Amino acid sequence: MHVYLDNNATTMVDPAVTEAMIPFFSEIYGNPNSLHRYGTASHPAITKAINQMYKAINASDNDDIIFTSCATESNNWVLKSVWVDKILNGDKNHIVTTEVEHPSVLSTCRFLEEQGVKVTYLPVNDQGIVEAHTLRSFITDKTALVSVMWANNETGMIFPIKEMGQICKERGVLFHTDAVQAVGKIPVDLQNVHVDFMSMSAHKFHGPKGIGALYIRNSEALTPLLHGGEHMGGRRSGTLNVPYIVGMGKAIELATQNIEEKMALIRAKRDRLEDALLAQLEDVFTVGSRENRTPNTILISIRGVEGEGMLWDLNNALIGASTGSACASEDLEANTVMLAIGADHELAHTGIRLSLSRFTTDAEVDYVIESFTKAVARLRAISSSYAKVQPTPGGKAAECNIHH
């Protein structure tokens, strides 16, 4: 059996999405900016996709949703443009973010620090989230932007975006959220939450790779990252990627329709998998409370088993998982989010991320439980250190704030 449990890295394109995209490769292929019929033929489909996006996140007519090439671009755009608009050409000098953001935010912040911007990286608590009140004390008169992810890609933990948005609104500071791991997984209602900018990526909700979007509240000013032709009202130049725009619209519609029902189905499978692994294996720990986690994600640590060894065994059993973010999985560093939570180095090398999707079946869950427990037994049997590092009950595990 083949089982794909790396849906936080990317997802399968829903066949209905592929079907919607196909005509726009070789039938309706004109440039939408051309005035002839071949160009204008794509306009209804683009309008439909934009409407699907607005509806899915409950944006208002005054807001903008601009298609980008990926969420990495959306995140870069917000951070670099706020730097230009509010710091280089304004009187601010400070950005606030968290220590567990995706590299597309963290590396951009490091670049901005090299340009002289002050960046505060908010610490996470033992659940892997930043508490809203922590943010309040770090905002100063010089703060231009707060950027906090809606849900973390490695743990699935959901951040208090509503409370943080309110704090930023009260303090008159722009608020950006990287909602890549939230949109399509949990309800995202922008009439209920105050955010100025929000990044999204289609391939995280069964759309194609290579297309993302940036939501911009009430047409807030934001210097373009890409200058060129006056595409998308001059906000982001480049010929519109019509098939992918159509695919993103269809994918977000499918992912957000009856989202509560979809969440319940995924959560039931995730909980069954998590319960079985915790019950059948000794010295394993999952990160963060389930109630405050995206319903598809488990980050599990297995004392005495290197994450890479575990991935190898799972891969041999035709199961795709990861040791954390796909961008960081080629090096053998400890899981940075687990270190931020306070796990010791040994445990931070043992994290395995299992991320389900609406296509995951019960039979697949059964197969993963069986294969996972076998792999742990095999790897512990050949581990020279496992017997030595076993914690005493309530000892090391409690110290490193990883929750059983």
Task: Summarize as ranges the residues that interact with ligand C6P (CB under 6 A).
Answer: 8-9, 70-72, 102, 104, 149, 153, 178, 180-181, 201, 212, 325-327
The least CB distance from residue 148 to ligand C6P, in Å, is 11
- Smaller CB distance to ligand C6P: residue 120 or 325? 325
Residue 322, beta-bridge partner list: 353
Pairing assessment for the beta strands 64-68 and 3-4 based on DSSP bridges? unpaired
- Shortest distance in whole angstroms from residue 279 CB to ligand C6P: 28
Q: What is the DSSP string of 290-301?
A: GGGB-TTEEEEE
For ligand C6P, the closer of residues 153 and 335 by Cβ is 153
Q: Which run of H or E residues covers position 355? A: strand 351-355
Given a contact cutoff of 8 angstroms between Cβ atoms, the answer to whether 150 and 292 are in contact is no
Residues with Cβ within 8 Å of residue 316, at least 6 apart in sequence: none
SS3 content of the chain, % helix, strand, coil (to 5): 45, 15, 40
Q: Which amino acid is at 289?
A: S
Q: Supply the minimum distance, in Å, between the C-beta of residue 327 and ligand C6P.
A: 3
Least distance from ligand C6P to the Cβ atom of residue 150, Å: 8
d(CA 271, CA 70): 31
**Residue 106 or 369 with smaller CB distance to ligand C6P:** 106
What's the full length of the chain, in residues?
A: 404
Relative to beta strand 143-147, strand 118-122 is unpaired
- Widest pairwise Cα distance in the chain: 74
- CA–CA separation, 68 and 392 (whole Å): 51
- Active-site hit among 70, 109, 168, 327: 327
Query: Which one, 178 or 196, has the nearer CB to ligand C6P?
Result: 178
Task: Of 269, 104, 100, 252, give the one whose Cα is nearest residue 187.
Answer: 252
Pairing of strands 197-201, 212-216: antiparallel
Query: Strand, coil or helix: what is 386?
Result: helix
**Residue 66 CB, nearest approach to ligand C6P (Å):** 14
Q: CB of 403 within 8 A of CB of 291?
A: no
Closest CA relative to residue 378, chosen from 278, 274, 270, 281: 281
Task: Kindly state the smallest distance separating residue 5's Cβ from ligand C6P, in Å.
Answer: 12
Q: How far is the CB of 204 from ligand C6P (least distance, A)?
A: 7
Using DSSP's 3-state secondary structure scheme, residue 360 falls into: coil
- Please say if 327 is a catalytic residue: yes
Active site residues: 327
